Structure 1
Amino acid sequence: FYVSNLKKCLSDEPLAIPLDELHIDDKHHFVKEPVEIIDREIKRLRQSHISIIKVRWNSKQGPEFTWERED
């Protein structure tokens, strides 16, 4: 690690998150809530069929879309 490799960090305004959009529970954890279902698929594994849905979350960190089981 060399200090000479460090670069100045410039803030990016679109990355700023307004505090009124954040939902935090009593243990100070960020609350992710599903916003809408984007897509549905049925995966086939030998003899069983698993239905999965693509969910859009209100998350400001990590991926905004994930595949989840429908049950």
Structure 2
Amino acid sequence: MSGMHDVFHVSQLRRFVSDFSSAVNLESIELEPNLTFQPQPARIVDRDVRNLRNRAISVVKVLWKGSPDGEATWELESEMMNRYPHLF
């Protein structure tokens, strides 16, 4: 990656269209004492097994507190079980 240029062509630019429905209320965000934000999981909504060539990886779909409706991320089941055992 060090050999790549950090520039882009003007044709890659797009007009910004503001969407006020996705605005975040700043008072609702709870910051840590060092001014960082660590989202907390609300619940697990789905499970899946991703098959690679010679192994299977268990993943879970996690809905996070404070995220807009319907937004969830796929996370490794082993990592979520270590960090948040109360979800299982």
Same fold (TM over 0.5): yes
Question: Which runs of structure 2 are paired with 1:27-38 in the superposition (5 Å)?
Answer: 27-38=34-45
**1:13 Cα deviation (Å)?**
7.6
Query: Would the alpha carbon gap of residues 70 and 27 (structure 1) be closer, same or farther in structure 2, given more than 3 Å must change?
Result: same
Which residue does the alignment assign to 2:23? 15
**Pick from 59, 71, 77: which aligns with 1:52?**
59
| Structure 2 gap ranges (5+) | 1-19, 79-88
Letter in 2 for 1:15: A
State how far apart, in whole Å, the 2-side matches of 1:13 and 1:43 are. 34
- More strand, by proportion: 1
Letter in 2 for 1:46: R
Give the structure-2-normalised TM-score: 0.54
Question: Could you report, residue by residue, the CA deviation over 1:15-46 in whole angstroms, capped at 9, with x for unpaired residues?
Answer: 35162x32210111122011100100001111
**1:64 Cα deviation (Å)?**
3.3
Give the structure-1-normalised TM-score: 0.65
- More helix, by proportion: 2
Q: What CA RMSD, in Å, does the superposition of the two structures yield over aligned residues?
A: 2.8
